[in-house]
Amino acid sequence: MKNNMILKAAVLGALGLVSAQAMATGLVNLPSTGFAVGSDTSPYTLCNTTSNFGSGDATYPTTLANNTCAVFPANVNTAPEASFTLVTSVARNIVLNDATYTNGTNVTVGSVVDRIWRKSSTNECIYGAQITLTNTDYDLNTAGSQYLEVNDFVRAGFSGRTVNAGYFVNNSNQEDVVSRMGRTNVSVQHRADASDATGQTPASGYVAQPLTTPTPASTPINGVNAWPGSAPSASQQSAALDGNYVDFTIDANYLDDDRSKTPSSPYTYVKTSCSSSTHTATAGALTFRQTGQEQAPWISFSISGFVPN
């Protein structure tokens, strides 16, 4: 499975370009009608699948390769596109509170930086976020320490809006990449073949680009909620379109079941229209999902965050 440090192939050659605001393919349009896949449709587009959705080592994007959906701002404080000015930046605690694991008490498992950049000439905003998870045991009813893993990060508030999205990886910060992203509120589980020590082979039945058919169950996570579990059916690997949401499939964890560590997510971005009025936090705008990539159970919960005003 994945090593503690993500592969950095060709990174050194790209670093000299990063400071010059070099762009790869840039932010990618995510239509609310989804993407054609053969004769069917997927809510998702693929970005960087070199880590097999977090199960193996990723090859970082550069300006020359592996850069679909990737952008290269000078740093996390800089907007991923020119002429956008920082409007607000808030660090929010990621608090899990449920009956199953925390017995109805608040357990802070990490934090998320929630930012907005705005371009006044076009009335557009870029909503940015980065997750950092801590060594906090979220399961108060199981012996030992269980650390939350975020396999999908979902932003709400984009119904009826044109959306472009992408991500930025800080190469020195042990971050994974964005594997896929799309207009859906269904996070589809992806698992590696347990017999492949590299983590690079998908397990039987798991697909990279989930389709909208067969109709998935009305659950926030779709897959097999058991370990090791049987191969999923086609309906357990599908996702419904929903233009109100943008789902980023990532791999962030303080300490994974496969013993790797990627405590911070890549920086994720969503660009859409906005007004000049003040943004306020909206309850439930940011959702975090642990989808059972290995032994971990399914968990989905939300906190407040910025949405287009």
Predicted confidence band of residue 285 (pLDDT cuts 50, 70, 90) = very high
Band the pLDDT of 256: cuts 50, 70, 90.
confident
What is the spatial distance between Cα 7 and Cα 66, in angstroms, rounded to a whole number? 12
For residue 261, CA distances in Å to 13, 80, 147, 249 come to 25, 26, 11, 17
Instruction: Please give the residue range of the domain that contains residue 116.
Output: 11-306
5 belongs to a structural domain: no
Write the pLDDT tens digit of every residue in 120-154: 999 999 999 999 999 999 999 999 999 999 999 99
Rounded to whole angstroms, the Cα distance separating 123 from 143 reads 51
Examine the pLDDT at 259 and tell me if it is beyond 90: no
- Asked whether residue 143 is domain-assigned, the answer is yes
Render pLDDT for 152-172 as a digit per residue (tens, 0 to 9). Answer: 999 999 999 999 999 999 876
DSSP string, 188-253: EP--B-TT-TTS-SBPTT--SS-BS-SPPPSSSEES--SSS-PPPPGGGGB----TTEEEEEEEEE
Give domain status of residue 1, yes or no. no
What the block records as the tokens of 236 is: 């357990």
d(CA 52, CA 24): 21
d(CA 155, CA 256): 24
Tally the domains of the chain: 1
This prediction has a pTM of 0.92
Please report whether residue 282 resides in a domain: yes
CA 27 and chain centroid, separation: 15
- According to DSSP, residue 143 is labeled S
2: in domain: no
Counting Cα atoms < 13 Å in the Cβ hemisphere of 139 gives 13
By the 8 A CB rule, do 297 and 290 touch?
yes
Distance CA(117)–CA(192), nearest Å, equals 37
Residue 120 lies in a domain: yes
Q: Could you report the per-residue pLDDT of 43-63, keeping only the tens digit for each?
A: 999 999 999 999 999 999 999
Determine contact, residues 85/117, Cβ cutoff 8 Å: yes
pLDDT greater than 50 at residue 15: no
CB 208 within 8 A of CB 200: no
Q: Is residue 3 part of a domain?
A: no
- Residue 10's pLDDT is 37
In a domain? residue 107 = yes
